Each structure stands twice: as C-alpha cells, then as structure tokens.
Amino acid sequence: MKQILYTALVTPFDAQGENIDYKSLEKLVRAQEKANNGIVLMGSTGEGLSLCDHERQKIVEFVLALKPQTQILVGVPSFNLRVALNWLSFCRNLPIDGYLMTTPMYTKPGVLGQSAWFEKLLDHAAHKAMLYNIPGRSGIKLHAEAIKNLKHHERLWALKDSSGSVDSLIEYQEASPNLEIFCGDDYLMPAAAAHGARGLVSVASNAWPQACRRYVALALDNIKFETLHWWQAGRAFSNASNPIPVKALLKDLGYINSDQVRLPLSIKDLPSRQILLALHEKLHNWDHHV
C-alpha cells in the first residue's frame, strides 16, 4: 500500500444540505483518480460525523461502484464503540483499501483507554488502518504510549498526524519505527518530510489534485522550492472550520454545485472567499512552473 498523497474528500450536498450531490461527488472522485491520488471518504473534511449510517453506506457503495483506479480509505465513526464496530462489519466484505480511525472525541481517554479502544477496532477490522491524531477536534492527542502498545498489531499500518507541529510525528516514529506516518497539515509537508513522513493526507488537493501531488513529491525528494503559497493556502483553509473554506473554493471553481455544509457548521462563518481565489491563481498550475 504505497501512496504519497491521500485527499480527504469533501462530501458535496445539495443547496439545502439535505441530500448528497452524487454528480459532484463523482467529479471529485474522477479528478483524484486522474491525479493518482488516494481518497479518504468521510473524514472530518467529509463531514463524516454529520452523516447518518444510511448516507455513509450509500456514499461508500456509490464510490466503489465507480471502480476508481486508486486507493480508497474509509473513515470510522469515532465516539461510540458499538456504532464503530457495526460500521466495520458493514465494510468487512467491501473492496476498500483501509480505514481512517480517529482518536475518540469528547471523552478524552488516557493511554490505556486509547490502547483498548483501537485494539477492539483493529481486532474487528478486515482491512488495514491509519490512525488519526487530531487533538484540535478530538480534545486530546493520540498518545505515543498507546501507539507503542499497538505497534505489533497486524492491522495497524499508518498514522495521520494533524497536530500542527512535527513534534508528535517524531514521538510516533520513536514509539513505532515501522509505522508509516502521514502529515495531516498541508502547509507542514516539507517539514514533516524532512523528519521522515511518508506522505500527506490533504485538504488542499480537493482543489489542486495535480499541483498538490507535485508539492508532496518534491518535499519527499528533499528538493528545495518556494513554499510560501502553500503555507498561505494552509492558513487560508483554517480561516473557518474545515471544510467550510475548501467547499467555498470548490463551489466558486465550479467543481461542486453547492458549498453547503451541515449544522453546526455554517458557510457564513467564512470571512472572505477572495483570499482562496487569489491563491488558486497562484497554485492551480504551480506544478508547471517548479
């Protein structure tokens, strides 16, 4: 399972936010397939926690029916054990490539709680898993000690680190040297690559699939290049809660029909769309000028 870039795909809705826009979803999948990027369905960028079980099932079945020639990872609901195990049972016989398993939110489990939680999920999983450290959303970091406890599990393949620094990445490498660590913050990819990251799980690649893949490849090859625009893009995508900014950009570019997000998110919380459009002018064909 060798892939340097996975796109945390948005879930496009209709203008009311009530139904999945499958036509737009197919366009997004095909764009990632064309760029040879892997796809993560129903992570935080895909508003996975705002979807009901039926919607999650229909999304996975729809994408798999497209038979995209790329790797597909599927997010696992992260706050209720029974729900998570039932979801893993549903996915058991599907031709997916793996799971994205997030640190449980709200409850803030300690080392032993995290270790037991992920062991339960990994034991029940039929595919390999990428664990996900995102303390800004889960309320607590994925403890390096938990990773050390789990490092010999045959289903544990990788870890996505969205901590906002490379410190956690280094801790995880020390805890489990064979674990594949993926950067989860677009703007940190060059620094993460310098400290051993194997690739990127990206929000920006929703809008710039080809350019973002080139950006990751250059970082992994330790080739020096100007990173300012990517840093600016990472900050711009943080001007409102993810995926509000990237959905606004995708709508303005005509890639999806609506920028609607589901409550408690609101597109009205985005302070400006012009910053993202200006960055698009700089980054859309960035890979042709490096």
Residues labelled as active-site residues: 132, 160
* Whether the Cβ atoms of residue 228 and residue 271 lie closer than 8 Å to each other: no
User: What is the C-alpha to C-alpha distance for residues 187 and 216, in angstroms, rounded to an integer?
Assistant: 10
Closest CA to 260 of 17, 50, 45, 27: 17
- Angstrom CA distances, 167 to 103, 161, 205, stand at 18, 10, 24
E-only strand ranges, 27-174: 38-41, 72-76, 98-102, 129-133, 156-161
> 44 to each of 26, 57, 151, 282, how far by Cα in Å?
19, 17, 25, 26
CA–CA dist 283, 288 (Å, integer)? 10
Residues 6+ apart with CB under 8 A from 52: none
R_g over Cα of the chain: 18
| Residue 235 CB partners (closer than 8 Å, separation 6+) | 187
